[in-house]
Amino acid sequence: MEIVLNPNINQRDALLERPLKQRSEVDSAVKDIIQLVVENGDEALIAFAKQFDKAELTQLKVTLPEIERASEQVDTDLKKAIQTAYDNIYKFHEACFTKDYAVVETMPGITCWRKSLPIEKVGLYIPGGSAPLFSTVLMLAIPAQIAGNKKVVLCSPTDENGDINPVVLYTANLCGVTEIYKVGGAQAIAAMTYGTKTIPSVHKIFGPGNAFVTRAKELAQQQGVAIDMPAGPSEVLVIADAQANPTFVAADLLAQAEHGHDSQVILLTDSEDLAKAVDEEIEIQISSLSRKQTAKAALENSKTIVLDSIDQCVEWSDVYAPEHLIINTVDADNVANEIAVAGSIFIGSYTCESLGDYASGTNHTLPTYGYARNYSGVSVDSFVNKVTYQKATAQGIKNLGPAVETMAAAEGLDAHKNAVSVRLKSLENND
């Protein structure tokens, strides 16, 4: 991994540049896929399953016997680990969620309040591929479970035998999701956007995916379907000082690098010795990784930057706006309090990103590609609408009405003013 020593401020933007998104090459393909799904529905989905997954499907919906068989295939130790993760994620997300807010009397006779109402229909996309992300089922289905969405639809691609990964099915069932469909890629997003004979359309779509899935989600928004957040390749930034264990730091960088060839990892440090030690440790650890070629490709997009101080590291981190931020310094808590922008922060030498990815309780569906500046990670709030209420008594409109009449008149909105005036006049006539 490239080591950059003491760069100046003018080099910052170039050094923190992310791998470019190549949208143009996938845009036309995604639009073609969407059009075929719109025109041919289930027939198109079955054809795409054969084309992309090499699967001969006779039906799209996963049956209850299939879910039961999947459960039998999951190792007992893995089931226990998933249950531990489920308990922690549920506990944290439930504690962070406010369903009903206090009623506020803004002035005598005027009360306002807010409630969290579940989005009626949501869709969850779970990628397949070489590393089926059953952990993402937990991260999306548990908040939906707490929110109380009326319909939760899950789509995931199959293997060549037409089966969704058994751990994905087991985890979905654990989270109460049983409406599961054998469809992946951009075609899954299209199906949940427009609906087919088998798959219902939804109001909001969640979940990660490749460039095709990401583009399909972006296009879904043009049809009035909300998405969780814009997405880019996964990333981690580590701030570490001289006391950090280089073995830990290298392991954290590689844990992110193995996600994908377009992932990016950044180490910011004030210690040149640590930078060199981490680089040596990466070479040692990467040799034993099953996904070492993927990790090596990601490291080509990555770098270690040696700065003058940890304070400067914080400044550079905020400019980068990382999806994941690990702080491995002697005063990690204080450094964390100085951070202004990040998707999720991991504090201290023992808090590796892997904990949050799987089971600490926080959500691993986070804003990437700098979107942490203006987006938050997925939570129960992502699955609800925050609806405001207000109620005025007769005394309330008497108290507030004159101010509203004055403001409406100043804006030249006579009908707005009149809606108040007719009520005030009615009250005067009744007095």
Q: Catalytic: 323? A: yes
The one-character DSSP state at 425 is H
The one-character DSSP state at 10 is G
List alpha helices for 41-152, DSSP H: 42-53, 64-73, 76-96, 134-147
Measure the CA dihedral 217/222/227/232, to 10°.
Answer: 50
Listing DSSP states for 203-238 in one string gives SEEE----HHHHHHHHHHHTTT-EES------EEEE
Does the annotation list 259 as a binding residue?
yes
Answer yes or no: are the C-beta atoms of 270 and 298 closer than 8 Å: no
CA dihedral for 360, 361, 367, 372, sign (positive or negative): negative
Question: What are the beta bridge partners of residue 204?
Answer: 122, 226
Does the annotation list 11 as a binding residue?
no
Does the annotation list 210 as a binding residue?
yes
Does the annotation list 187 as a binding residue?
yes
Question: What are the beta bridge partners of residue 123?
Answer: 153, 205
Q: Residue 11 is encoded by which pair of tokens?
A: 């080099």
Q: Catalytic: 280? A: no
- In whole angstroms, give the CA distance from residue 155 to residue 323: 25
Which residues does 375 contact at the CB level (< 8 Å), separation at least 6?
A: 229, 230, 367
- Characterize 247-264 residue by residue with b for buried, 16 or more Cβ atoms within 10 angstroms of its Cβ, and e for exposed: ebbbbbbbbbbbbbbbbb
Instruction: Provide the residue type at 268 as one letter.
Output: L
Closest by Cα among 213, 199, 231 to 121: 199
Q: Residue 45 is encoded by which pair of tokens?
A: 């989905």
Q: Which of 93, 261, 324, 364 is catalytic?
A: 324
- Characterize 21-37 residue by residue with b for buried, 16 or more Cβ atoms within 10 angstroms of its Cβ, and e for exposed: eeeeebeeebeebbebb
Closest by Cα among 140, 160, 164 to 152: 140
Does the annotation list 203 as a binding residue?
no
Does the annotation list 264 as a binding residue?
no
Q: Which of 235, 258, 323, 353 is catalytic?
A: 323
- In whole angstroms, give the CA distance from residue 376 to residue 323: 10
* Sequence ranges of the binding site for NAD(+): 125, 187, 210
* Sequence ranges of the binding site for substrate: 234, 256, 259, 324, 357, 411, 416
Active site residues: 323-324
* Sequence ranges of the binding site: 125, 187, 210, 234, 256, 259, 324, 357, 411, 416
* Sequence ranges of the binding site for Zn(2+): 256, 259, 357, 416
